[in-house]
Amino acid sequence: MTRIRVAGFSVSLDGFAAGTDQSLDHPLGKRGPELFQWFFPTRTFRGMHGDSGGESGGDTGPDDNFARRAMAGFGAFILGRNMFSPLRGAWPDDQWKGWWGSNPPYHAPTFVLTHHPRASIEMEGGTTLHFVTDGIEAALRRAREAAGQKDIKIGGGVDTVRQYIRAGHVDEIHLAVSPVVLGQGEALFAGIDLPALGYRVAERVQTVRATHVVLAR
């Protein structure tokens, strides 16, 4: 049965899941990379960037296990506009194709929420980017059709995740709580009553770099 999941979503101790002022130079917002210090050293992350083993192939262990779980087994992905691009407003041209180069890490149909139409982009490695202009429900319907029996990942950013949680669609949320305090940024759960929506803590694993918490309904 297809599940809708948020996975590998980093959050600070004070509840922020992205920094401020996203730009081409700061795709995660200012100080945003501090949230992902559990992820960057893992074998999963380094493998995604072409490092294929050996001592330099990255750390294994619990952080890597959660990193691998955050990318494996998905038949479709849903992203917000900000997760795909620093550009705002109408697309100026078709040159921007994401932060990830010619081979994005998704390797499955990926649906990008936007207010501005754009033709689909077929990338290397099995990723095709589709741009959805008629809202989160339409994107989810298309993702279900594409995913088959596999799960669907709500990949971010923060506002996209919040919309799907509030709409009652997300079955499981894996948070990597990083030991940093941002003070400002994009708050993940402000105004959201997780227990009222049926969530409980199903799993908790602490490492040196993060506390991994899985919330399930």
| Domain limits, the chain | 4-88+98-216
Task: Return the SS3 of 55.
Answer: helix
Q: Distance between CA atoms of 15 and 13, rounded to whole angstroms? A: 6
pLDDT of 127 above 80: yes
Please check whether residue 107 is in contact with residue 71, taking contact to mean a CB–CB distance below 8 angstroms: no
pLDDT of 104 above 70: yes
For every residue of 68-133, DSSP letters joined together read HHTTSSEEEEEE-HHHH-S--SS-S-S----SSTTS-S--SEEEEE-SS----EE-GGG-EEEEE-
CA distances from 129 to 84, 148, 198 (A): 10, 17, 32
What pLDDT, on a 0 to 100 scale, did the predictor assign at position 56? 55
Give the CATH number of domain 4-88+98-216.
3.40.430.10
Long-range contacts of 88-96 (CB under 8 A, 24+ apart): 89/116, 90/116, 91/116, 91/118, 94/118, 94/119, 94/121
pLDDT of 40 above 50: yes
The first and second tokens of residue 15, run together, are 């509840």
pLDDT in tens, 89-103: 999 998 999 888 899
Please check whether residue 76 is in contact with residue 109, taking contact to mean a CB–CB distance below 8 angstroms: yes
pLDDT of 132 above 90: yes
Q: Distance between CA atoms of 24 and 85, rounded to whole angstroms? A: 8
Determine the average pLDDT of the residues in 115-144. 97
Q: Distance between CA atoms of 32 and 17, rounded to whole angstroms? A: 8
**In whole numbers, what is the pLDDT of the chain averaged over residues?**
93
Please check whether residue 59 is in contact with residue 42, taking contact to mean a CB–CB distance below 8 angstroms: yes
